[in-house]
Amino acid sequence: MLPKLVIFDCDGVLVDTEGPVNEVIAASLTRYGLPISPHECQSLFVGGTIFGVQDEARKRGADLPENWVDETLMQIFARIEAGVEVIDGIPALLDQLEALGIATAIASNGPMGKMERSLGPSGMWQRFEGRIYSREGFTPKPAPDMVLQAMKDAGVSAAQSVMIDDSPNGCMAAVRAGVRAIGYAAEGQDNQLRAVGAEVVTTIDAIAELIGI
């Protein structure tokens, strides 16, 4: 059965922001006394929030100032505005879904300002307008709140929905909402995604076949 709604994570699924963002975070944490690489940031913080990064970094010994979140978000926004790539296969997948009348939405733990900057140049911000859910209005994933609201707004059931995410937190949110979770494992996180109940793909092109379009 074809889904009636496909919900996407943003960072690492629609656009390749995670590499640039992890570079910014790693440089900042290293500067404040926690030497760390972008790859380690990816492993530790993927699918979380900037507040979670702050809390974990302090536990690990980083001497972060009180305004660290605001400071780092400004740096992240500036880096994203310099340009990020759309993930290979996403434009074609969105076109297929639209042609079949399948609704789409975004559920992200990132702030709206960050998504507007990363999705705007490709036109995806406008394409998803009114169907973008973020941690600014909902409890962050792995809570299912954003997924549940997306289904409610689309007027569909969990059985008619699919969630695509590259993080265990995101896939767990889908599972907790009773939604089929597809884990996009482009960074070798296959086992972590399967552990929370996701079906795993390593390319976006594989998703169309998996959901039957």
> In the chain, which residues fall in CATH 1.10.150?
18-81
How far is it, in rounded angstroms, from Cα 25 to Cα 52?
Answer: 12
| Cβ-based neighbour number of residue 87 at 10 Å | 21
* CA 152/CA 158 separation, integer angstroms: 10
Residue 140 in tokens? 């962050």
For residues 41 and 24, the answer to whether their CB atoms sit within 8 Å is no
pLDDT tens digits for range 122-162: 999 999 999 999 999 999 999 999 999 999 999 999 999 99
What pLDDT does 202 receive? 96
pLDDT value at residue 158: 98
Strand, coil or helix: 80: helix
pLDDT of residue 153: 98
Residue 103 CB neighbours (<10 A): 20
Query: Rg of the Cα trace of the chain?
Result: 17
Return d(Cα 55, Cα 109) in angstroms, integer. 16
- Show pLDDT as tens, one digit a residue, over the chain (213 residues): 899 999 999 999 999 887 888 899 999 999 999 999 998 998 888 777 889 999 999 999 999 999 999 999 999 888 888 878 999 999 999 999 999 999 999 999 988 998 998 999 899 999 999 999 999 999 999 999 999 999 999 999 999 999 999 999 999 999 999 999 999 998 888 999 999 999 999 999 999 999 999
**Dihedral sign of CA atoms 24, 26, 27, 32 in order:** positive
Separation in Å, CA 2 to CA 42, 79, 166, 197, 213: 33, 38, 22, 20, 7
The superfamily CATH assigns to domain 5-16+84-211 is HAD superfamily/HAD-like (3.40.50.1000)
As a CATH number, domain 18-81 is 1.10.150
Determine contact, residues 54/7, Cβ cutoff 8 Å. no
Report strand pairing: 180-184 vs 199-201.
Answer: parallel
d(C-alpha 73, C-alpha 5), whole Å: 31
Phi, psi of 7 (to 5 degrees): -105, 130
- pLDDT at 48 (0 to 100): 78
What is the pLDDT at residue 89? Answer: 97
CA distances from 98 to 31, 95, 102, 171 (A): 45, 5, 6, 23
**Minimal CA–CA distance to 170: which of 58, 49, 87, 5?**
49
Q: Which of 10, 6, 4, 16 has the alpha carbon at shortest distance from 135?
A: 10
Question: Tell me, what's the pLDDT at 183?
Answer: 98
Structure token digits, residue 11: 């960072």
